[in-house]
Amino acid sequence: MERIIITGALGQIGTELTLKLREKYGEENVLPTDIKEPEGEALKGKPFEVLDVRDQERMKALVSEFKPDTMMHMASLLSATAEKNPQFAWEINMGGLVNALETAREFGLKFFTPSSIGAFGPSTPKENTPQVTIQRPTTMYGVNKVAGELLCDYYHEKFGVDTRGVRFPGLISHVKEPGGGTTDYAVEIYFEALRNGRYTSFIDKSTNMDMMYMEDAIDAIIKLMEAHPGQLKDRNAFNVSAMSINPEMVANEIRKHIPDFELDYDVDPVRQGIAESWPNAIDSTEAKRQWGFDPRYDLEKMTEVMLEAIRNK
Ligand code: VAH
């Protein structure tokens, strides 16, 4: 992996992924793209190209010109947004993925795209969820992620495309706040704790979900993409998680730094329903075994880093 094009580069993962790849491979070897030009400081600096992932012709033209060896397809509508407009979510999440896979096939690109714990549903085992198990998600986002996992496997088997992917848990970062996710409470709570000393959670107190600090997520992507193909028994849909937490646990950790922090609840039935359809804690054994997945941040360390970084913003 030496020269990378990224779609959805202005998103929560895409932003930090672009910064890390530029640092590791050189700014001139990374082409971040997204539906609009960057506004904030985070992605200042060239090159950058505007790309709507529904435009396969332009996607191929950019690849033909930039000549990457890898595509990281990050453009996606997240779970809560997708539930508000499922037909549009299909168009972006699946239409965009097909265009990206076709581009990777035509230009012989190594390919990464993330799945999610959202690819599981209410009939999936909730605790220590295996990588191969029942997947009957009840959200459009979950349907997109299951279809995406299968499509990426298909492009590898049928066309030899070097596709790789992980199932991300909720991701927590201070660089770019997420938009439209069910797990966004776990990011908002840190910002609100410092802004107002209190937070009203839209997810209920005892709802456990898998989470991971963004630095561990970016490291996982790079580690998987740099793994020798012979190491990989599986290709896509590796379970990866660093912790299983709920709002009360996050609040208790924050109180070690902000003793008077107050947490209350105004549960959003839609996002609560999505959260309850997902596992409580997934098993990451295969990722650890096949390519050395090794998250470094637990809730305590993540809380320290998040509060420190937000204070310094
Ligand atoms: C979402 N942050 O909430 C995303 C993610 C596991 C959650 O897929 O939709």
C-alpha span between 248 and 204 (Å, rounded): 9
| pLDDT of 35 above 80 | yes
**Catalytic one of 25, 141, 190, 213:** 141
Tens-place pLDDT, residues 165-186: 999 999 999 998 878 899 999 9
Å from CA of 221 to ligand 1 middle: 16
Local structure of residue 68 (DSSP, 8 states): -
Angle at 229 between CA 226 and CA 232, to 5 degrees: 100
The reported pLDDT for the residue numbered 130 is: 98
Decide: 161 in ligand 1 pocket, CB within 6 A. Answer: no
Segment 274-303 mean pLDDT: 98
Tens-place pLDDT, residues 226-267: 999 999 999 999 999 999 999 999 999 999 999 999 999 999
Question: Which of 74, 77, 93, 183 to mutate to test ligand 1, by most ligand atoms within 8 A of the CB atom?
Answer: 183
| pLDDT of 120 above 90 | yes
C-alpha span between 24 and 1 (Å, rounded): 11
The reported pLDDT for the residue numbered 42 is: 72
Hey, what CATH topology would domain 1-313 get?
Rossmann fold (3.40.50)
Decide: 181 in ligand 1 pocket, CB within 6 A. Answer: yes
Decide: 118 in ligand 1 pocket, CB within 6 A. Answer: yes
The reported pLDDT for the residue numbered 293 is: 98
Residue 61 amino acid letter = A
Segment 108-134 mean pLDDT: 98
Å from CA of 78 to ligand 1 middle: 6
| pLDDT of 45 above 80 | no
Å from CA of 63 to ligand 1 middle: 28
The reported pLDDT for the residue numbered 249 is: 98
The reported pLDDT for the residue numbered 272 is: 97
| pLDDT of 39 above 90 | no
Query: Average pLDDT, whole number, for the chain?
Result: 96
Decide: 183 in ligand 1 pocket, CB within 6 A. Answer: yes
C-alpha span between 224 and 209 (Å, rounded): 23
Q: Whole-angstrom distance between the N-terminal and C-terminal Cα of the chain?
A: 32
Decide: 79 in ligand 1 pocket, CB within 6 A. Answer: yes
Local structure of residue 92 (DSSP, 8 states): I
Decide: 68 in ligand 1 pocket, CB within 6 A. Answer: no
Tens-place pLDDT, residues 47-89: 999 999 999 999 999 999 999 999 999 999 999 999 999 999 9
Å from CA of 66 to ligand 1 middle: 31
The reported pLDDT for the residue numbered 9 is: 96
| pLDDT of 19 above 80 | yes
Separation of CA 44 from chain center: 22
Segment 179-199 mean pLDDT: 96
Annotation marks residue 141 as catalytic: yes
Residue 194 class from Cβ within 10 Å (0-12 exposed, 13-18 middle, 19+ buried)?
middle
Residue nearest to atom 3 of ligand 1 (CA): 181
